[in-house]
Structure 1
Amino acid sequence: MFRRTALAAFTLLTVLMIALSTGQQANAAGRGQPTDWNRFYYYPYLYYPQNFQQYQSYDHMYYRYGPEMQIPVYRKDWYNFYPTERPYHKGYHFHMDTF
């Protein structure tokens, strides 16, 4: 009887030591996630996952943002799907198919 109790206590102690020695701290956010989620409650609701830094904006009227964020100039000679005329795409069924 003593041998069985001692073996059970030894096994329990061994399992407890293994469980406590290999425990790792659990983090709610994964790697690369922002730590301050409260910044999304206010305008602008922007999230910059590239490097968690805002894009630089300049006080210039025409070149306010960098070249990766600028909207290209609309030119009439470029092909655009919606302003071109098509005789077979007329009426309200075309609008319903588009959306």
Structure 2
Amino acid sequence: MFRQLALACLTAMTLLLVGGLTASEAEAQGRGQPTDWNRFYYYPYLYYPQNFQQPQSYDHMYYRYGPEMQIPVYNKDWYNPYPTDRPYHKGYHFHLDTF
């Protein structure tokens, strides 16, 4: 009987202590960073950097896209293993391994 009474008093004191915390103490850190949770409602659940870029194109034939979106010009002085002739780069096993 004494154990049940002691346990009830301890529970009541714990509830009073927890209930005694004011809202200002609980929210001492302030508001968190504002986020728009509706942006995760549709498929791209994450924002990638390309989502922030404006879709733009120009009428010029060569400079149609911005410099970050252009394909670099092929330079024959750079090493590229595919156009070089190698004896082991022949046959179906090479095509299966590569592609």
- The TM-score with structure 2 as length reference comes to 0.55
Equivalent position of 1:36 in the other structure: 39
Larger Rg: 2
Equivalent position of 1:64 in the other structure: 64
- Structure 1 residues 51, 12: CA separation in 2 closer, same or farther (over 3 Å shift)? same
Equivalent position of 2:85 in the other structure: 85
Match of 2:11 among 8, 17, 29: 8
Gaps of 5+ in 1: 41-46
Gaps of 5+ in 2: none
For 2:48 and 2:63, how far apart are their aligned partners in 1? 21
Aligned length: 87
Deviation string 1:16-44 (CA, Å, 9 cap, x unpaired) is 455x76379xx9xx98888534374xxxx
For 2:10 and 2:56, how far apart are their aligned partners in 1? 67
Secondary structure of residue in 2 paired with 1:75: coil
For 1:77 and 1:97, how far apart are their aligned partners in 2? 26
Q: Which amino acid aligns with 1:8?
A: T
By relative contact order (CA 8 Å, sep 6+), the higher-ranking structure is: 1
Residues 48 and 54, structure 1, Cα contact 8 Å, conserved in 2: no
**4+ residue stretches of structure 1 with deviation over 6 A?**
30-34
Structure holding more helix per residue: 2
For 1:17 and 1:58, how far apart are their aligned partners in 2? 65
